[in-house]
Structure 1
Amino acid sequence: MTEYERSRTMPALPEHIFDQAAHVDQLETWLPQDLHVNAGDLPAVTVHEDRTDEDTSALFRAQRDQMRLEWGTRDQGSYAGWLQVAGIGSGASEVTVHLSFFDDSHDPGEKAVRDALESSLQRLEEQVRLRVDNAAG
């Protein structure tokens, strides 16, 4: 099993970040650009990966009371992940994303995962900023 984790401090309340991240119809605005999520009967979703042109049955759960998202493959159990939002005061939050690959054949490698996590956190911060700015003005 291989695990990866990245964190990022964002200048927004945890509720704003969580609400943006958990909106299943807007996951593509911050997930790696080659992943597309189609919501089924939640928690069931289908994830399409452009790189492999494959669809994978997956699960997606949002737990607002814990400010936590969890996801993973449904049938083969080869991959899982979570996102946790924690308020750190002064209107800022820390967002942590954790990925676990239980099957090494599904692990794209440390550099690819590190780059994808960093890009995803940056895109999530941009989406939150757009949402907060639009709500304020």
Structure 2
Amino acid sequence: MAEFEAERRMPAEAEQVFAIVGDLDRLSEWMPTPIGVRQTGDGEVHADVDSRDVHADGLVGVRPEQLRLEWGSEDSPDYAGWLQVEHAEPGHSSVVMHLSFLGDQPEARRHGSAAGEVRQWLDDALAQLERVVAGTS
């Protein structure tokens, strides 16, 4: 089992940031390049990670009252994640993104190239989200 987490300060109020992340049609705007995610239905998404030969359907719970997204794979209980937008000083917020790999997969090891890739993807996603947020504020 391995857990990965990254946090980044955002240049907008928490509600503005959540309006972007909570809109599943906008996932492709801030997901890192190797990961393709698209909404396929109400709370349903399809993800492609070509570098890892992963093509999976998943469910995303959008919880506006908590400023939180939670997701997991329909194909495997071995993967889950969440994103939490938190209030900060006026005009800013913070986003925490967390991934859990529970099964026997390369990412489930804390070290190695797969783990390094996951950490980089988290950082890239939050950096891209910051750019999107800055462009809309």
For normalisation by structure 1, the TM-score amounts to: 0.88
The 2-side partners of 1:120 and 1:38 are apart by 15
**Which residue number corresponds to residue 44 of structure 2?**
44
Secondary structure, counterpart of 2:32 in structure 1:
coil
* Residues 1:123 and 2:113 are matched in the alignment: no
1:34–1:51 Cα contact (<8 Å) kept: yes
Please identify, of 75-84 and 43-52, the stretch whose mean Cα deviation from structure 2 is larger.
Answer: 43-52
Amino acid at match of 1:27: L
* Percentage of pairs with the same residue: 36
**Which residue number corresponds to residue 110 of structure 2?**
none
Where does structure 1 differ by over 4 angstroms across 4 or more consecutive aligned residues? none
Number of aligned residue pairs: give it. Answer: 132
**Which residue number corresponds to residue 81 of structure 1?**
81
Amino acid at match of 2:129: L
Shift of 1:54: 4.0
**Which residue number corresponds to residue 109 of structure 1?**
114
Secondary structure, counterpart of 2:85 in structure 1:
strand
Shift of 1:40: 2.2
Amino acid at match of 2:51: R
**Which residue number corresponds to residue 65 of structure 1?**
65
For normalisation by structure 2, the TM-score amounts to: 0.88
Per the alignment, do residues 110 and 48 of structure 1 end up closer, same or farther by CA in structure 2, a change over 3 Å counting?
closer
Q: Unpaired runs of 5+ in structure 1?
A: 133-137
The 1-side partners of 2:20 and 2:106 are apart by 27
CA RMSD, 1 decimal: 1.5
